Amino acid sequence: MDLKQRAYCDRILRVNLSTGTINTAPLPAEAMPLVLGGKGLGAWLLYTELAPHTDPLSPDNLLIFSNGPLTGTTAPTAGRFCATTRSPATGAYLDNYSGGYWGQMLKYAGYDALVISGAADSPVMLVIDNDRVELRPADHLWGSTVTEATARLRDEFGHDWQSLVIGPPGEQLRNVAGIFNETRALARGGVGAVMGSKRLKAIVTRGNRPVRVFDKAKYERALQLAFRAVRMSSKTTLLSREGTVNILEIINVMGALPTRNFQQGQFELADEVSGAAFREHNWKKDYACFGCPIACGKWTVPLEDGKTIEGPEYETTFALGPNCAIGSREAIIRLNWWCDEYGMDTISVGGVIGFVMELYQRGLISAQELDGIEPRWGDGAAAEALVEKMAKIEGCGEWLAQGVAAIAERYPEGKPFAMHVKGLEMPAYHPSAAKGTALAYAVSERGACHLRGAPLGELFSGAADPLTITGKPQLFRDTQADTAAWDSACLCLFPGYGMTLKELWQLVVAATGFDYPTPADLQLLGERVSTLARLFNVREGFNRAHDTLPARNLSQPMGGGPAAGHVVELEPMLDEYYRIMGWDQNGIPTPERLRELGLAALLEPAAG
């Protein structure tokens, strides 16, 4: 099978930063129809190549960038790529996805994946220019912010290059650190700290190779159908107009907008921070990632001091707004700016500030412990002072930047309301008001996650009643499998508001020529890939005990709003979900299910 005629480059680039060794290897040809690319390829490489119990911040950890067969094609949103590693925040499997303009550049340079191992003695950058790949000193960039480093690299290399960089929190191995392609981020789980632990400041990439699809005529037809589905969807139109924040008002109406560190599900100032309000007062132009017909990104009008951002997105708005009771759009923009400028995950940073505000509300932390800052609910200036400390790793920022779980170890009385799962801060949907999403948070392999199959339609599409657990395990299983297929083909998830799995399947089959007779085969692939990520966690010691939620969701009834009196009935959902997945009662996939999914045979050489 010639993968080069099937939308792949058939090359993995491997760079060992300890030895300086750089080489390439072909893709695992037999495995590719089973894992496809993106998430599937990243999970397969991590599972088969990373030794169990590797310290996430040791040179032995792997940082894997992978793209999918659709990356770099003409498919809608084809700039997507994936980064996979073992997370320092959770100790679990971690994958992140980003749009922007770097993913297709790696593909055009001739690589389906980049596997980085080892650690350099001093700061370096990796330069990928088609076949020419080299390591160069990056001492001059160390300590610089995301925009500073990006601008210097643009000056040094030119505008036809794309870069990935980390900021100071990544260099200093903090759990809130991400990896940035200009304004777009691989944000979660401390992936930036893994890059920092390798003393890798930047990856600069340029390429000009074509991508060849398997059946051009079939692909062109699939492309027409995909674009029609995206263009004709009212939801993608709303995304274009009001960005991802367009859903904030309806989530608030449903009582699922986490407010004051999830103490409430409705925010009294929701109107002030809605998509419509940002559109009217703060946004001046749209931003689109590579190949995107939607353009959900928005650039703001500069603030008085010149600060401007591409954002805020819905998750950022929740985390830095209602979660901290901040109803000022300008304050949210400022907080977002600090996160983007210094390379931090807005969800985790907002989770930290909300948690610290509640610790302060309850008298469990003093201003003295926070370098004199008094973090009262709604105080944007106090929040900004704390975020600046985190960004610069100064004073209390040194430990705040390790995230909610680490702070809760320092202040154990706060554990019942430390809003994280497996060490990852919670996203923007209140679990007690969205039971299928609650199951997704509890089970998702990277910790609390809204992007690994949470059935968010239960909140904003009428797909199901968000307050009941009936049918939710099956709904989560299906959305998780669909999402994993999407992440393995490597398209942004938002075209999925118009496209169905059928349109994705048509594109994938035409591009790869793989034998997937029906869309259900792609869904099965998604389940296989999710299960592979689960197997990684099982090998690291994760089981049912880790598939849980904070006490706030399990035993403290919601105080008001549409979900008043509700908690999450997690155990029955776990029982049913494990049964549907073919896992035992402890959440371990059974040998029989692994055989059915084709994983037993796929992993045999690794097991041996």
Binding site for ligand SF4 (CB under 6 A): 77, 99, 288-289, 292, 294-297, 492, 494
Nearest CA among 282, 276, 405, 402 for reference residue 332 = 282
Q: How near is the Cβ of 314 to ligand SF4 at its closest, in Å? A: 11
Query: DSSP state, 258?
Result: -
Q: How near is the Cβ of 236 to ligand SF4 at its closest, in Å? A: 8
Of residues 171 and 315, the one with the C-beta less far from ligand SF4: 315
Q: How near is the Cβ of 167 to ligand SF4 at its closest, in Å? A: 21
Of residues 12 and 292, the one with the C-beta less far from ligand SF4: 292
Query: Is residue 100 packed enough to be buried (19+ CB in 10 Å), middle (13-18) or exposed (0-12)?
Result: buried
Q: Distance between CA 437 and CA 473 in Å, rounded?
A: 10
Q: Distance between CA 396 and CA 437 in Å, rounded?
A: 33
Of residues 247 and 574, the one with the C-beta less far from ligand SF4: 247
Assign 3-class secondary structure to 341-374: HHCECHHHHHHHHHHHHHHHHCCCCCCHHHCCCC
Of residues 499 and 568, the one with the C-beta less far from ligand SF4: 499
Q: How near is the Cβ of 417 to ligand SF4 at its closest, in Å? A: 31
Q: How near is the Cβ of 317 to ligand SF4 at its closest, in Å? A: 15
Q: How near is the Cβ of 103 to ligand SF4 at its closest, in Å? A: 10
Query: Is residue 210 packed enough to be buried (19+ CB in 10 Å), middle (13-18) or exposed (0-12)?
Result: exposed
Q: Distance between CA 428 and CA 259 in Å, rounded?
A: 9
Q: How near is the Cβ of 123 to ligand SF4 at its closest, in Å? A: 30
Cα 283–Cα 284–Cα 287 angle in degrees, nearest 5: 85
Contacts of 455 (CB under 8 A, 6+ apart): 436, 437, 440, 463, 464, 472, 475, 476, 479
Q: How near is the Cβ of 231 to ligand SF4 at its closest, in Å? A: 13
Of residues 195 and 294, the one with the C-beta less far from ligand SF4: 294
E-state strands within 47-199: 63-66, 81-86, 93-98, 113-117, 124-129, 132-137, 162-165, 179-181, 184-186
User: Quick count: other Cβ atoms within 10 Å of Cβ 87?
Assistant: 27
Q: Distance between CA 546 and CA 569 in Å, rounded?
A: 16
Of residues 225 and 295, the one with the C-beta less far from ligand SF4: 295
Q: How near is the Cβ of 97 to ligand SF4 at its closest, in Å? A: 9
Q: Which residues of 357-390 are buried (b: 16+ CB within 10 A; e: fewer)?
A: bbbbeeeebeeebbeebebebbbbebbbbbbbbb
Rg (CA), the chain: 22
Of residues 494 and 505, the one with the C-beta less far from ligand SF4: 494
Nearest CA among 583, 585, 489, 576 for reference residue 534 = 583
Q: Distance between CA 51 and CA 45 in Å, rounded?
A: 11
Of residues 92 and 296, the one with the C-beta less far from ligand SF4: 296
Of residues 76 and 196, the one with the C-beta less far from ligand SF4: 76
Maximum alpha-carbon separation in the chain? 68
Of residues 150 and 233, the one with the C-beta less far from ligand SF4: 233
Of residues 77 and 233, the one with the C-beta less far from ligand SF4: 77
Q: How near is the Cβ of 296 to ligand SF4 at its closest, in Å? A: 3
Q: How near is the Cβ of 490 to ligand SF4 at its closest, in Å? A: 11
Nearest CA among 101, 107, 97 for reference residue 159 = 101
Contacts of 184 (CB under 8 A, 6+ apart): 98, 99, 100, 289
Query: DSSP state, 15?
Result: E
Q: How near is the Cβ of 309 to ligand SF4 at its closest, in Å? A: 15
Q: How near is the Cβ of 71 to ligand SF4 at its closest, in Å? A: 12
Nearest CA among 139, 146, 153, 138 for reference residue 105 = 153
Of residues 499 and 574, the one with the C-beta less far from ligand SF4: 499
Cis peptide before 312 (omega within 30 of 0): yes
Nearest CA among 439, 418, 466, 459 for reference residue 547 = 439
Of residues 287 and 399, the one with the C-beta less far from ligand SF4: 287
Q: How near is the Cβ of 278 to ligand SF4 at its closest, in Å? A: 15
Of residues 67 and 77, the one with the C-beta less far from ligand SF4: 77
**Which residue type, as a one-letter code, is found at position 324?**
C
Q: Distance between CA 567 and CA 368 in Å, rounded?
A: 35
